[in-house]
Structure 1
Amino acid sequence: MDIREGKALLEKVLEVRSSVIEEGDELYDRWNRTPIRREYEDSARNLAYYMAFRKQDLRDLQERLIPWGVSSLGRLEADVLGTLNAVAKTLGSITGEDVGDIDYRSSATFLERNEALKNNTDKMFGDIRHDRNERILVTMPTEAGKDYKLVESLINSGMNMARINCAHDDPEVWEAMIKNIKKAESATGYTCRVLMDISGPKIRTKMLLTTKRNPKVKEGERFLISNKTSMTLPKGIEIAVNTSVPEVLDKMKVGQKVKLDDGHIEAEVKEKNDEGVICEVTRTVKENGVKVKTEKGINIPDVDYKLPVLTEKDDKDLDFAVRHADAIAFSFIKDKNDIDLIESALGDKLPEDRKDMPTIAKIETAEGIRNLPDIIQRAAGARLFGVMVARGDLAVEIGYERLSEVQEELLWICEAAHVPVIWATQVVESLVKTGIPTRSEISDVVAGSRAECIMLNKGDYIVDGVEVVADILKKFEVHQYKKTAMLRSLSIARETFEG
């Protein structure tokens, strides 16, 4: 190898290291204006260093280092400064150059940083089971409150955590679900944590008014999104729905894109009137149309609206969750101010013996992505914290073509923060609903194995789904852990410093 190239590489690595320390320390100091709990200080600083590191486009440096056999920069998330120190020290030894007081990280330090994420995952989701590190989270169907055998089968099949969605059912049903979970824990000898998912300010279809026997909409057909509790059908319109958040209709304009039911129906606002907005269907996922249903999400990707992160219903649901949950998830987290409101509510409601309740932020908007580092710092700085990548709403909000890129970035950032990730939405959906998986679903589970937990939604074949996912994770784990990545700059990193 050309020793001059080695010296040039060392100079570049030292330059990167210096900028990472300077800018990372500045970011950490900014974050630390809101005191960070002592147990999370090292992780918060590592995240700050990672954001400083990923501001830069380092693909060329990465490629030049590879022939020297010293490049581990594509896998430095868990220990940014330690990795840069090791690379610099090795290059210094090879080239005979003095790198100053930089020393190799100790094996103990290396292990501690790499174990931080694992330890946080264990605390959040409980012990490893069935020879796999990844955990499985399952959304509880209503019948889980009555069907004990279903719950027991799910736990035996590999469920590590049960998700109770507060958008559905009521405290009486939730309590019955938890009772069955506790009973099944005792019977099986396995632990199963309970996650209460606070529904948040999601815009949903509420009631349906139609003259159709089968209320499907097709391309070119018009329907009304009403701002009224008591709806009427305008002339020529056969379907109307109202919404859980009628005030958002005031912000919509003619030409506005609207998506219903996780994007299964795409439409455009054609008219605004006293009744609400009249939309025309531009696309449906099925050629013969899609049925309009109640309790389905409405996404308005291009409208900038800010709703309170906790609704009146959420406040009541939180009273139940703080007494019964092992962790609480919060929906539609957009910025650190949302975390402050949640922390204030938890401070008021949590019993003294539950003050350390773990929380999970569901990231499902473009704003949440942009503000992820600040969200993590504020939330994980306060308590044990995880991130759920809600890929359904996220894809509808940012576009399916961007989803793969964005979810990779979220995984990297969370690993640098030592924060566990839940890979959610439509995992083995066909298998869970019909009993027959698709090839793409199996590949999706493999992709999701880079997260710490995979979430399955309810369906008639949910036990089969858990068994299949557990088996895939167990077999694939020996082949890959996380992912080595090339190092172009991240827009999230640049925006973190600009903010």
Structure 2
Amino acid sequence: MSDSMSELRSQLRPYLANLMDFLEETVEEYADDISQVHPTHQAGAKNLLRYAQLRNHDVAHLQAGLSSLGATRLSTAEPDVIARLQAAHNVLDVFNGDSPTYPLEPIGEAFAKADDILDDHATELLGPTKENTHARIMVTLPSEAADDPDLVLKFAEAGMDLARINCAHDGEEAWAKMIDNVHAAADAVGHDILVSMDLAGPKVRTGDIEPGPAVIRARVTRDAAGKTVEPAKLYLYARDTPQPELPTTPGREGAPLQVDPAWLKGLAVGSVITLEDNRGKHRSYRVERIRPDGLAIAHGKKSAFIAASTLLLHDGEVTTVSGIAHQEQKIKVVAGDTLILTTNPASAVVHERAEGVTTTLGCDAPEAIEALEPGHQVLFDDGAIDATVKEVRKVPCGDGSTDTEAVLEVTRAGIGGTNLKAHKGINLPDTFIPLPSLTEEDLTALEFVARNADIVNVSFIRTAGDVVYVLDQLADIAARADKEGDEDAAAHAKNLGVVLKIETVPAYHQLAAVLLAGMRHRTLGIMIARGDLAVELGFERMVEIPRLMMQMAEAAHIPVILATQVLENLAKKGLPSRAEMTDVGYALRAECVMLNKGPNITEAIRILDRVSRRLGRSQLKNRQSLRKISAWEDTLKYKPESTPE
């Protein structure tokens, strides 16, 4: 056994030395890229390159060999790759009876220094953590946060460390109010709460679908025995006036209808209104109440389908109903169907399936269709429908131009089919879409963010070029502010925290290059957006992808925000699932965890804060602190024949 161990040591030492030389050659190869990195990221950039190259090779045999000798499995090499390899080499030296090749003190200090660098970067970007915690809590603000400062205060009191504003919703006036409310809440609880704002980036979505009929249904509510428990309701108000606030009543929603003002004034409590509905059914409704704002509420014993052309009759006077919106139409998609995506912006026509007509559907980003190729995967509505491109063709138009059509074969849909609506997301994991990472709307929002927020979260990152483009736009904003003599605005733009949302397949595949480009900026982080990643990479890959990304970011000494569906069941329904509580334990290995909106979000913040404090004493990234487990104090006292009281 000793001879075999000696032989293994003799093989591993030169292998380790050659591996370290190879990793250093990588650092030298990327010297120009490292020179462009901000000084605070120099150490992280070099370690990132070493780690990326290490993970580009299979060193499992090295791990197994070192482990069999009782050395190290290299399983936590991320903070300082070279120091970990040098430590392993030194162990082999000692086993062989030689003096350590590498000085011990720098190796001993390497991990602590790397941890300090990451902590400093996380604090600069995300703010300090609370006592006994490792991760911050980021909370997405609902639109109500603009006009409800108490709501924001409750979030802060529950444990919110950062407030997230989604620039895809509301507008600058509402954003400014939200920021003011966040600052007021921070003052009230006595600690800073940073503001993070999301730029949506270009979105690829399905185009318009022709509207359905303008029909609304007034429906009775029946119990399980079929008895009517609530009547059908009509809410009548004057034409060309805003719809008044409708009453909240038990049962089904009523039908709001615009009518002629003079006809409406002729109604009184007890008036009977008759109509022939869209099916030719005769119905009558009795006015039960007329509110001071003019809204007349009428009840009926039977349901009715009421269209924009329906006539209402009262005391010989007739009015035509108006103000009924067209129904939203859906396209039912079944596995095996053929679906055509087109650059033509015309609304899709909904066909009955019995007709056997292929549905042609537009897309709001024609560049995406132009970039499709046979074999590419196309996912609709967060992966609810999966399809493959079979053909891409040019179709002549009447004016001499051409449209591009992608013929798709649907490979997966729900049992019995899945309904596809207009303006639903399209994911193209195999396709490079020739669009900038910031839209015109994003660039306008970035001007506001750069002056008012602490962090900008950038969506749709795919390559290092996208990152450079974003940083260039920030530099332009700072330069314009300098030119205008606004030194504070210029400084704010230069120091704005930048978080790169990793949500596309290219960004995951090119993560090292994306990080290296981002490290040109002093204050940098990444967000692991598990939603789109799961759609594009497949749900099974989520078992490992977040962990791998967190390891790569740790090697770069860059903080991570973990996002998507953290405590979602709790936030929306008030009770966490067992699985999502386990998920929280993993999520808290990141420097920040993002919670989305929900009616019970305050309780979700409280629970996440409590769990964070508990784990903060025993967990740092993938390393466990072997603290005493009080629950196991007597775990060996019980004999097989005894039962603990």
Give the TM-score normalised by the residue count of structure 1: 0.87
User: Partner of 2:490 in structure 1?
Assistant: 352
User: Partner of 2:294 in structure 1?
Assistant: none
- Greater radius of gyration (CA): 2
Structure 1: how far apart are the matches of 2:554 and 2:63? Answer: 20
Kept in 1: contact 2:331–2:350 (CA 8 A): no
Structure 2 residue 584 is matched with structure 1 residue 469: no
SS at match of 1:164: strand
SS at match of 1:105: helix
After superposition, the Cα gap between the structure-2 partners of 1:183 and 1:73, relative to the gap in structure 1 and judged at 3 Å, is same
Question: 1:316 pairs with 440, 444, 457, which one?
Answer: 444
SS at match of 1:194: strand
CA-CA distance at 1:392 after TM superposition: 1.1
Structure 1: how far apart are the matches of 2:210 and 2:471? Answer: 40
User: Partner of 1:219 in structure 2?
Assistant: 334
After superposition, the Cα gap between the structure-2 partners of 1:215 and 1:231, relative to the gap in structure 1 and judged at 3 Å, is closer
CA-CA distance at 1:12 after TM superposition: 1.7
After superposition, the Cα gap between the structure-2 partners of 1:175 and 1:123, relative to the gap in structure 1 and judged at 3 Å, is same
User: Partner of 1:16 in structure 2?
Assistant: 16
Structure 2 residue 371 is matched with structure 1 residue 251: yes
**Amino acid across the alignment from 1:394:** L
Which one has the bigger strand percentage? 2
Question: 2:459 pairs with 328, 331, 355, which one?
Answer: 331
Structure 2 residue 469 is matched with structure 1 residue 341: yes
CA-CA distance at 1:106 after TM superposition: 5.4
Structure 1: how far apart are the matches of 2:172 and 2:345? Answer: 26
Kept in 2: contact 1:138–1:162 (CA 8 A): yes
Kept in 2: contact 1:218–1:283 (CA 8 A): no
Gaps of 5+ in 1: 486-499
Kept in 1: contact 2:66–2:88 (CA 8 A): no
User: Partner of 2:563 in structure 1?
Assistant: 424
CA-CA distance at 1:309 after TM superposition: 1.1
SS at match of 1:77: coil
Structure 2: how far apart are the matches of 1:89 and 1:169? Answer: 59
**Amino acid across the alignment from 2:175:** W
SS at match of 2:441: helix
- The superposition leaves residues 334-387 of structure 1 with CA deviations (integer Å, 9 ceiling, x where unpaired) of 111111111211111133322122211111122111211111111113322111
Structure 1: how far apart are the matches of 2:409 and 2:495? Answer: 48
CA-CA distance at 1:72 after TM superposition: 5.4
CA-CA distance at 1:65 after TM superposition: 2.3
CA-CA distance at 1:191 after TM superposition: 1.7
Tell me the C-alpha RMSD between the 2 structures: 3.0
Kept in 2: contact 1:224–1:240 (CA 8 A): yes
CA-CA distance at 1:292 after TM superposition: 4.4
**Amino acid across the alignment from 2:91:** T
Kept in 1: contact 2:529–2:562 (CA 8 A): yes
SS at match of 2:457: strand
Kept in 2: contact 1:209–1:241 (CA 8 A): no
Kept in 1: contact 2:133–2:617 (CA 8 A): no
Question: 2:425 pairs with 286, 289, 297, which one?
Answer: 297
**Amino acid across the alignment from 1:245:** A
- The superposition leaves residues 126-145 of structure 1 with CA deviations (integer Å, 9 ceiling, x where unpaired) of 11125311111122211111
Structure 2: how far apart are the matches of 1:150 and 1:137? Answer: 15
After superposition, the Cα gap between the structure-2 partners of 1:484 and 1:185, relative to the gap in structure 1 and judged at 3 Å, is closer
After superposition, the Cα gap between the structure-2 partners of 1:275 and 1:471, relative to the gap in structure 1 and judged at 3 Å, is same
After superposition, the Cα gap between the structure-2 partners of 1:14 and 1:163, relative to the gap in structure 1 and judged at 3 Å, is farther
Give the TM-score normalised by the residue count of structure 2: 0.68
Structure 2 residue 619 is matched with structure 1 residue 480: yes
Which one has the bigger helix percentage? 1
Structure 2: how far apart are the matches of 1:261 and 1:235? Answer: 20
Kept in 1: contact 2:477–2:490 (CA 8 A): no
**Amino acid across the alignment from 1:308:** P
User: Partner of 1:460 in structure 2?
Assistant: 599
SS at match of 2:188: helix
SS at match of 1:73: coil
CA-CA distance at 1:194 after TM superposition: 0.9
After superposition, the Cα gap between the structure-2 partners of 1:58 and 1:231, relative to the gap in structure 1 and judged at 3 Å, is same
CA-CA distance at 1:2 after TM superposition: 2.9
User: What percent of counterpart residues are identical?
Assistant: 32
Deviates more, 1:406-415 or 1:92-101: 92-101
Work out the number of aligned pairs and report it.
484
Kept in 1: contact 2:197–2:449 (CA 8 A): yes
Kept in 1: contact 2:136–2:161 (CA 8 A): yes
CA-CA distance at 1:182 after TM superposition: 0.7
Kept in 2: contact 1:10–1:88 (CA 8 A): no
User: Partner of 2:71 in structure 1?
Assistant: 70
Structure 2: how far apart are the matches of 1:234 and 1:356? Answer: 51
Structure 2: how far apart are the matches of 1:50 and 1:213? Answer: 51
Structure 2: how far apart are the matches of 1:470 and 1:10? Answer: 50
Gaps of 5+ in 2: 213-326, 396-402, 479-488, 625-645
